[in-house]
Structure formats: C-alpha cells, structure tokens
Structure 1
Amino acid sequence: MIRQAAHFAIRGYQLTLSSLIGRQCRHWPSCSTYTDAAIQRHGLWAGGWIGFSRICRCGPFGTHGIDLVPEAVPPQATWVTPWRYGRWRGVEAPRSPFVCEEFDTGDGQTLTPAPRPASAAPPASR
C-alpha cells in the first residue's frame, strides 16, 4: 500500500512538474523512473535511499549514461545506516555481451585487441 502511494506520487510528478521543468535527466532510465523501480523492488525505505542517491548523482558534475536499479541491496546496509543503501558514485551499467577477440586480416596477420587497463574493467559482480 505504501509502495503504491509512492508510485502514484512519482507518477504525478512525471505527468505534471517534470513536463513543466523539462525532461533533462542525464541517465537512462530517468531519475524518477529509477526511484519508482527501486521503491517497487526494495521497499520505501531502502528504495527511497537508493533513489535519493541517484538524484544526488544526477547533476552537472555527476554521473550519466545507463544506470540500472541494483538487484539486491548492499549487504552492509541496515535500516539504521540508510546511506549505505545508495550508490553515491558511479553507475550500475549492464555488462556488455561483446568480447574483443583476435582477428585474422586474411594476409597472414592477426590483430589482437589491446589489453584493457585495470581502471576500465567492469565492476565485479556482487
């Protein structure tokens, strides 16, 4: 019932205020859709904090791009430490299904992809 009320409040924002101030979210899905999905998946308390951390990241010097709601809440998060529910830096991007492989050019040469630096490695799965 509380999740439903939060959903209607967010949907009301999307249909009224969001349309008036312009839809200019730097992420996909938008921050309001993300917060709604987080609340539906993790409940009002945890999902609200997850959504709040996303809204804080959505600014001129914040993150951008594809950012999905986490499947599970972080194990260190509890109701008395709600700030640990949120991801305050970075995004939860889906893993790419594409893998770089060696390529034969046809004239006897084989091209090998350059190794990725450790900083470019995708985040470890939880």
Structure 2
Amino acid sequence: MSKIAIFLIKGYRRFISPLLGQNCRFRPTCSVYAIKAYEKYGFIKGSFLTLRRLLRCHPFCAGGDDPLK
C-alpha cells in the first residue's frame, strides 16, 4: 500500500503540482514529507503523519521547518 501511495504522490507532483504552483508553507514540502513518512513508517503511520501535516498546511499556519522525526 505504501508503494501505491508514493506512486500517487509522485503523480501529483509531476502533473498537478506544476499547475497549482508552490503553496506549501513547510520545508520539506508536504509531498516530500509524505513520501518520507511512507518509506520510513509504512502505510498506517505514514498516512496518519501525512494527514496531520496536510491539516496544518493552510494560510493561517506560520509554516517553517518541519522535518520528519
């Protein structure tokens, strides 16, 4: 399942993200963070970490450095 999620994220980065422009307030970007989370923790915990990160990525959040722990 992690490989499928990573494949979908890479597809998003290649085809959809260029149309939207760079909007992520964090470093690394949310998509890079998600890929690393899936690779390091697997599908269940990687999905939880990715969802938590995406919920914080909005205009009212200061953003900044937020590496995967």
Same fold (TM over 0.5): yes
Paired residue type of 1:30 = T
Written as runs of structure 1 = structure 2, the 5 A alignment for 1:46-57 is 46-57=45-56
Q: Does 1:34 align with 2:38?
A: no
CA RMSD of aligned residues (A): 1.0
Aligned residue number for residue 24 of structure 1: 23
% identical aligned pairs:
35
Deviation at 1:63, TM superposition (A): 3.8
SS at match of 1:52: helix
SS at match of 2:61: coil
Aligned residue number for residue 65 of structure 1: 64
SS at match of 1:62: coil
Aligned residue number for residue 5 of structure 1: 4
Larger Rg: 1
Gaps of 5+ in 2: none
Deviation at 1:30, TM superposition (A): 0.4
The answer to which structure, 1 or 2, has the higher relative contact order (CA under 8 A, 6+ apart) is: 2
Gaps of 5+ in 1: 71-126
CA distance in 1, matches of 2:2, 2:66: 22
Q: Conserved in 2, the CA contact under 8 Å of 1:37 and 1:69?
A: yes
* Aligned length, in residue pairs: 69
